[in-house]
Structure 1
Amino acid sequence: MATILTPDLKDPALYEAGVPWDVFAELRRDDPVHWNPEADGAGFWSVMRHADIVEVSRQPLLFSSAYENGGHRIFNENEVGLTGAGDSAIGIPFISRDPPVHTRYRKFVMPALSPARLGDIETRIRERVTRLVAEIPLGEPVDLVPLLSAPLPLMTLAELLGVSIDLWPKLYDWTNAFVGEDDPEFRQSPEAMATTLGEFFAFGQELFEARRAEPTSDIASLLANAEIDGVPVPFRDFIGNLILVLVGGNETTRNSLSHSVAAFSAHPEQWQAIRTDRDVLKTAAPEMVRYASPVMHMRRTAMADAIVGGQEIAKGDRVVLWYISANRDENVFPDADRFDVRRKGAQHVGFGAGQHVCVGSRLAEMQLRIAFDMLADRVTSFEVQAPPRRFRSNFINGLKNLDVILRPA
């Protein structure tokens, strides 16, 4: 194994100014299964290449996501809790379960996202986007995150949960706190986090009891009334799964949208390609997710000695899958650093891979297609005015703001 002097990939400060693409490129080339020492832990393996990440993802019993084995984040969920805020009343979400339990949960959730259950949701999303876009001032600097990137997926989530879409600002604050364990803006103090969790638990308790009493066809009802091996899911696990739905259904779409506007500002010819031919949006949406890679990593734990990419992995070792590296793998995506809305070929891992691939990926891409289709009617170009403020996170490739001018058609 090559010895490369690299920064600690776990350090959230590494990503504050931008993704260190050069570091990931060097590791893909010279040390694709890289040992990352830790000052506060035993260290972990970082997997960089697309093929190796897919291989690991397809073996969930060998490479575990289960809570009792540490869960799906770099930190150990069974030691510091799901949100990294210490012990709490939050139970285990199904992303932190292995098959067959994980598979059973997916069977409860998937019907809620089926075309038959969603009905004319595309029409409702289009109506929502039309209203949001109509309220964006054109030709002057605006912060696009609170005007479009954040409300769109959160309003869709509110609909799926069967709650008022007017709750989206509160859902926004909660989800930022859940994933922002390393960002002082989102985690101002333990007391503030306790208050946030208390508010969320109260919301969750009311929702849980209402859906248990009168089930409907929404996702909240499915999660509240799920049974695993004949045993009803407890409230704690309902809360864990509710957090998973909110974070998973929000972060990918929100940050893919923001990063894509920034990409269109830097590559205006790509925006013109969409304005000229809307069919390009079919390939553009996956490219937006690949290029943004809004979820930077997921973690697994080796349940037996294994070999990944020629590297020996010991039983019990943590294995971190860097999606953000795999989505720029030159062996899979020609000219991988280029934003190309007409790109076709291999599937990105922006939604994960294998057993744990995101159940809402099609809905996320649908929202991206609709949003940029509607924007193409009104906007000739995007002009980002200043570098956005980024999440201080090793997990979410997130933008807190995006100051941009939308030039009117």
Structure 2
Amino acid sequence: MTTSSFLPDLKDPDLYQDRAPHDVFARLRRETPVYWNPEVDGSGFWAFTRHADIVEVSRRADLFSSAFENGGHRIFNENEVGLTGAGDSAVGIPFISRDPPIHTRYRKFVMPALAPGRLGDIEQRVEQRVAALFDRIPLGESVDIVPLLSAPLPLLTLAELLGLPSEMWLKLYHWTNAFVGEDDPEFRQSAESMAQTMSAFFAFSKELFDARRAEPGPDIASLLANAEIDGVPVPFNDFVGNLILVLVGGNETTRNSLSHTIHAFSENPDQWDAIRLEPDLLKSAPAEFVRHASPVLHMRRTAMADVEIGGQAIARGDKVVMWYISGNRDEAVFENADRFDVRRRAVQHIGFGSGQHVCVGSRLAEMQLRVAFRLLARHVRRFEVEGKPRRFRSNFINGLKNLDVTLVPA
């Protein structure tokens, strides 16, 4: 354990409410890169802050479990407080909270739905969505870009992939905020309101599940509803868990990467000038957008045997938390790691995870970022952010609730 007097509580959601604490993680990487973090309500956890150690833990699914029965993939124990941290909500186990080989089998069901052949001309449809959303944004005026572009774009894409009406994006927006907002009173005002949210989502999920079982289609909801593991149909509650996973994973990363990147371009106008002058930079720049934003702050595993990582002995049963926000700013991997640089090449970020649990929709997310900024580059000369955005009170999602910005026309 660390002997340093520097003892931040990385679990405390207040640490992330006013800012992304990059300075805290930079000091940990220097002084105590594998850091023991006590918990008021738990046994404590090992915090991994270096890129190499996070990749090592991620690739060793045999030693580091994300299975529900071992605690799951969140910093809290899912087997004690449920997937959403809202108590026994009867939500089933999503495949992110499974270990191989079951996790691998689930991925095989989902991957075909995201294959280029299945998606067809989805990039063209995303371009149409971006154009339609952009047409409603007044240029030269202060607007909150989150409800106008950052949130609806990925949710409209998700609605298509799930075979849902496009107007459902607002309900999906409300639900996903509640799923990840266990520490934010704006998203979870009370246990009663969360119970109402879950009741409404269960009713929607049951209708969707029954419809896709009766008449399967090419959409992801049909694949999840009709999946079988070792010949046994996936139960309804697991369908709900996987549906939450798809909605959160397909929404939060893209939404917050888009908002954070607009903010970064406002602070680094030279980088936006580079994109406008060289649109081909957008072929690779989305990887830098995600690295710099780190929309997901952490993922958790549980050690299944005594092991040593990063020079630190980890005991069987210990909880380990991989801080992507720290690994994505690791100076040993990224030169001038805090700099937002759209010309970076071969950006090996871990914003979508790493190893066997890497996000199955990562390419789709980066494509949406590429398309959005390609259109913005044609019409916007610069971004002027006004005021400090309100942040999620969360140790899990690096989210912006609003982003008031003027899009100065080209």
Q: TM-score, normalised by structure 2?
A: 0.99
Q: Is residue 287–residue 347 contact of structure 2 (8 Å, CA) maintained in 1?
A: no
CA deviation profile, 1:266-294 (whole Å, cap 9, x unmatched): 00000010100111011210000000000
Question: 1:199 is matched with which residue?
Answer: 200
Deviation, structure 1 residue 30: 1.1
Preserved contact between residue 32 and residue 49 of structure 1 (Cα < 8 Å)? yes
State whether structure 2 residue 333 is matched by structure 1 residue 332.
yes
The answer to whether the Cα contact below 8 Å between 1:2 and 1:30 also exists between their aligned partners in 2 is no
1:176 alignment partner in structure 2: 177
The C-alpha deviation readout for 1:171-229, integer Å capped at 9, x for no partner, is 00000000000000000000000000011001100100000000000000000000000
Q: Which residue of 2 aligns with 1:154?
A: 155
Aligned partner of 2:133 in structure 1 is: 132
1:104 match: 105
Residue of structure 2 equivalent to 1:234: 235
Give 3-state SS (helix, strand or coil) of 1:381's partner: strand
Equivalences for residues 253-268 of structure 1 within 5 A? 253-268=254-269
Give the 3-state SS of the residue equivalent to 1:320 in structure 2.
strand
The one-letter code of the counterpart of 1:129 is V
SS at match of 2:308: strand
**How far does residue 134 in structure 1 lie from its aligned partner after superposition?**
1.2
- For the 8 Å contact 1:6–1:23, the answer to whether it is kept is no
Tell me, in whole angstroms, the C-alpha distance in 2 between the residues paired with 1:168 and 1:119.
22
Equivalent residue, structure 2, for 1:87 = 88
Where has structure 1 moved over 3 Å in runs of 4 or more? none
Q: Is the 8 A contact 1:287 1:340 kept in 2?
A: yes
1:121 maps to what in 2?
Answer: 122
Structure 1 residue 2: Cα displacement: 4.4
**Percent identity between the aligned chains?**
74
Residue 362 of structure 2 is aligned to residue 365 of structure 1: no
TM-score, with length taken from structure 1: 0.99
Contact residue 125 and residue 367 of structure 1 kept, 8 A: yes
Query: Matched residue pairs, number?
Result: 409
Unaligned runs of 5+ in 2: none
Residue 277 (structure 2) aligns with? 276
The question of 1:249 aligning with 2:247 is answered no
Q: Show the counterpart of 2:15.
A: 14
Give 3-state SS (helix, strand or coil) of 1:394's partner.
coil
1:207-218 → structure 2 map (5 Å cutoff): 207-218=208-219
Contact 2:228 2:234 in 1 (8 A): yes
Q: Which amino acid aligns with 1:385?
A: E
C-alpha displacement at 1:6, in angstroms?
A: 2.5
3-state SS, counterpart of residue 71 of structure 1: coil
Secondary structure of the residue aligned to 1:299 is strand
Gaps of at least 5 residues in structure 1 are none
Residue pair 2:288, 2:347 contacting (<8 A) in 1 also: no
User: Are 1:332 and 1:346, in contact at CA under 8 Å, matched by a contact in 2?
Assistant: no
Confirm whether residue 395 of structure 1 aligns to residue 393 of structure 2. no
- Report the AA paired with residue 19 of structure 2: G
Q: Is the 8 A contact 1:70 1:76 kept in 2?
A: yes
Once the two structures are superposed, residues 128-164 of structure 1 have per-residue CA deviations (whole angstroms, 9 ceiling, x without a partner) of 1001011100001000000000000000000000000
1:353-381 per-position Cα deviation (integer Å, ceiling 9, x unaligned)? 00000000000000000000001111000
State how far apart, in whole Å, the 2-side matches of 1:266 and 1:299 are.
32
In 1, Cα distance between equivalents of 2:377 and 2:214: 45
- 1:78 alignment counterpart: 79
Q: Which residue of 2 aligns with 1:145?
A: 146
Distance 1:398 1:4 in 2: 30
Given that 1:260 and 1:292 are in contact with CA atoms closer than 8 Å, whether structure 2 keeps it comes out as yes
Asked if 2 retains the 8 angstrom alpha-carbon contact of 1:301 and 1:316, the reply is yes
The alpha-carbon deviation at position 85 of structure 1 amounts to: 0.2
RMSD of aligned Cα (Å): 0.7
Per the TM alignment, residue 5 of structure 1 is displaced from its structure 2 partner at its CA by 1.7
Cα distance in 2 between the residues matched to 1:325 and 1:4: 20
Deviations 1:318-350 (A, max 9, x none): 000000000000000000000000111341000
Partner residue in 1 for 2:186: 185
1:313 aligns with 2:324: no
